Amino acid sequence: MKELTPTVGPPKRSCAIAIVGGGVMGLSIAYQLARRGLTDVVVLERGYLAQGASGRNGGGVRMQWSTELNVRLMQESFVLCRHFALEIGVNVWFRQGGYLFLATREAEREKMERNVALQNRVGVPTRMLSPEEARAIVPELDVSRVVCACYNPKDGVLFPWPFLWGYAHQALARGVEVHLFTEVSAIERSSGGFLLHTSKGPVKAERVVNAAGAWSPQIARLVGVELPDRPHRHEILSTEPLKPFLTPMVSVLSSGLYFSQSMRGEIVTGITVEDHDDDQVKMGSRLKFLTTLARELVRVMPRLADVKILRQWAGPYDVSPDGAPILGEPPGVPGFYLACGFGGHGFMMSPVIGELYAEWLTSGRRHQVFDESRLDRFSKVRPPGGNGHEELIIG
């Protein structure tokens, strides 16, 4: 791939679309817009590429979801992931080793069976497994607590960083400006759109996309919109490299533990640990995470008891009240588009959301996901049985 560096100097004074946030979501939208010929686009990123959640995640990509819409969206994301290397010209180490979910409570069985039936109906080959069948896939598992499992051999894992570089590179090559170390500090609304104040000067934009992840409430507040998503610290670590032995991503539903083996042999693993949630994005590492994770991991995989940890880090989940994304224009601010609230699954969703957003912004064709993910769903009375949105499970 020919070397292309992010845009230097101040951003151009005006553009059709300004995207706030150079994470995977903003860059995917920028690339897809440019691919459709809309290149008058400026991406404004406060730090370096991969500074936010996009540079800190586990790279898990799965089709196992509990709503038909999400299963279908992820089927589409898979097609894009499979073709990414050829289309974008960068290897993202995409590997379809499957996802194995373990249920340790009888109460989880019914939901698991329902999800598997839904996924099968939509064409995803997930199957229910007994504990022994799960152990046939990962012989090192201690399945004494496991009541059942489900497994889709087509799910997978990728390496996040080249994904961002690839999108940025191809957007730049088509004429999009990508400005790093460029912070958006204020947004004025005007008749022709918006005036963004950045640390490198002002930019007028007809339309603005808020793709600032866990910082999206702060960006929305600049145009007077209060978003309900909040940052939640999610921690993760990687171990010394081991000889390859683990094919799927494994996840324990009750604890939120997940682990996979990278192509370099490291075990990459995380778990949900409570935090004192407030509006601040926190990225510090905690001993509490390390001990919680070590205990649960060794319970499930006793043979990992002596593995050495090389690196521990944290990143922000951007969590909406119902665990589903917040998309589209907020009431009263036409031309300001939200792409946030993706929790622990924004990376895998970014290829398809980028594509659908670009289609909407260039042709006016609006996919069903934008209607289902509107901000104003939080101010409406929910119908009995919920609104069909996804519960939050691991990435």
Ligand X SMILES: Cc1cc2nc3c(=O)[nH]c(=O)nc-3n(C[C@H](O)[C@H](O)[C@H](O)COP(=O)(O)OP(=O)(O)OC[C@H]3O[C@@H](n4cnc5c(N)ncnc54)[C@H](O)[C@@H]3O)c2cc1C
Nearest distance, CB of residue 220 and ligand X, angstroms: 11
- Both structure tokens of 125: 């080959």
Q: Are the CB atoms for 115 and 64 separated by under 8 Å?
A: yes
Question: Between 17 and 184, whose beta carbon lies closer to ligand X?
Answer: 184
Question: Between 193 and 256, whose beta carbon lies closer to ligand X?
Answer: 256
Give the binding site for ligand X (CB under 6 A): 20-26, 44-47, 51-54, 56-60, 183-184, 211-215, 219, 234, 236, 270, 315-317, 342, 344-348, 395
Q: Which 8-state DSSP code applies to residue 343?
A: B
Question: Between 118 and 187, whose beta carbon lies closer to ligand X?
Answer: 187
C-alpha to C-alpha distance for 328 and 319, rounded to whole angstroms? 17
Distances from the Cα of 82 to the Cαs of 85, 87, 170, 348, in angstroms? 7, 10, 17, 12
Nearest distance, CB of residue 182 and ligand X, angstroms: 6
Nearest distance, CB of residue 249 and ligand X, angstroms: 8
The total of other beta-carbon atoms located within 10 Å of residue 41's CB is 27
The position carrying tokens 């640390």 is 199
Q: What is the DSSP string of 234-271?
A: EEEEEE----S---SEEEETTTTEEEEE-TTS-EEEEE
Nearest distance, CB of residue 349 and ligand X, angstroms: 6
Q: Which 8-state DSSP code applies to residue 134?
A: H
Provide CB contacts within 8 A for 36, sequence distance 6+: 358, 359, 362, 363
Nearest distance, CB of residue 206 and ligand X, angstroms: 19
Nearest distance, CB of residue 244 and ligand X, angstroms: 19
Give, to the nearest 10 degrees, the angle between helix 346-363 and helix 24-35. 30
Question: Between 181 and 245, whose beta carbon lies closer to ligand X?
Answer: 181
Give CA angle at 59 (55, 65), nearest 5°. 130
Question: Between 11 and 131, whose beta carbon lies closer to ligand X?
Answer: 11
Question: Between 81 and 143, whose beta carbon lies closer to ligand X?
Answer: 81
262 beta partners: none
Nearest distance, CB of residue 181 and ligand X, angstroms: 9
What is the bridge-based pairing of β-strands 41-44 and 60-61? Answer: unpaired
Question: Between 58 and 162, whose beta carbon lies closer to ligand X?
Answer: 58
